[in-house]
Amino acid sequence: MNVYLVSSVKFVLVISLCSFINNQCFPPVEIKQLYNSWEECTIAALELSKEILTAKSLKDNVINKYKFATKFMCNEVGEI
């Protein structure tokens, strides 16, 4: 009898808001959710990036003035 163990690698999203004028970023934030795949994590990062860049807390023109964008990474957290 062959038994196959299915390993499940999870990913955690780390995201920062960065200025492309001076190549500096705010401290990265680790999102407290595990994603089942690289694809899920990356799509979540893109959605969260849009939320960050359209947040009412950012004053008008600050994104253009400092050329803000997000930088993100989906890091493997191991097998479960």
Global confidence as pTM = 0.80
46: alpha, beta or left? (left if phi > 0; alpha if psi -120 to 50): alpha
SS3 74: strand
Q: Reply yes or no on whether the pLDDT at 60 is more than 80.
A: no
pLDDT digits (tens, 9 = 90+) for 3-56: 555 568 999 999 999 999 999 999 999 999 999 999 999 999 999 999 999 987
